[in-house]
């Protein structure tokens, strides 16, 4: 098994509450972030704990992902994700905190690759490509959504 830790931070010019509301509205992910989420179905909700079945997009392919997600009120979410179809599992953390310019987004995804053949290709690709793609598909899109919301 190969493990990769992906991490980055971004600042968006919006209050934490606005960023939190958008980033934890999982059912709207396909609408808000269509480059990464095709469908989201919450199968079970107990308080802040969600069991989610998602179809995500990555590397030009679609994959089913089962997510055990805990919403951290006002602070973001953590999620343990399994994609048997793609051969990966991971621990994802999206943590929000106030910043002088708005909100600091601290994102970490610890990915475990279970297929040997995939590790040969995926490790270099994930390290180089994933966070750049996530920034364009999620963070840049989030900024657009926030601009529309804040300019009402």
Three-class SS of residue 150? helix
Asked whether residue 30 carries a pLDDT value surpassing 90, the answer given is: yes
Residue 127: what pLDDT?
Answer: 66
Mean pLDDT of the 80-97 span:
89
pTM of the model: 0.88
> Which of the four pLDDT bands, split at 50, 70 and 90, describes residue 1?
low
Asked whether residue 116 carries a pLDDT value surpassing 80, the answer given is: no
Question: From start to end of the chain, where are the E strands?
Answer: 2-12, 37-46, 49-58, 61-72, 76-83, 88-99, 102-113
Asked whether residue 124 carries a pLDDT value surpassing 70, the answer given is: no
Q: Mean pLDDT for the chain?
A: 89
H or E segment to which residue 16 belongs: helix 16-23
């Amino acid at each position: 098994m190969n493990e990769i830790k992906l991490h980055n931070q971004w600042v968006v010019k919006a209050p934490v509450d606005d960023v939190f509301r958008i980033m934890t509205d999982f059912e709207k992910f396909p609408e808000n972030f269509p480059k990464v989420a095709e469908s989201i179905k919450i199968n079970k909700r107990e308080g802040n704990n969600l069991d989610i079945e998602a179809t995500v997009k990555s590397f030009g392919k679609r994959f089913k992902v089962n997510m055990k997600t805990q919403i951290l009120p006002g602070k973001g979410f953590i999620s343990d994700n399994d994609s048997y179809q793609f051969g990966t599992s991971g621990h994802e953390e999206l943590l929000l905190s106030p910043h002088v310019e708005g909100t600091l987004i601290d994102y970490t995804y610890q990915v475990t690759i279970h297929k040997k053949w995939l590790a040969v290709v995926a490790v270099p690709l994930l390290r180089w490509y994933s966070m750049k793609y996530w920034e364009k598909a999620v963070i840049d899109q989030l900024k657009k959504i926030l601009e529309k919301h804040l300019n009402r």
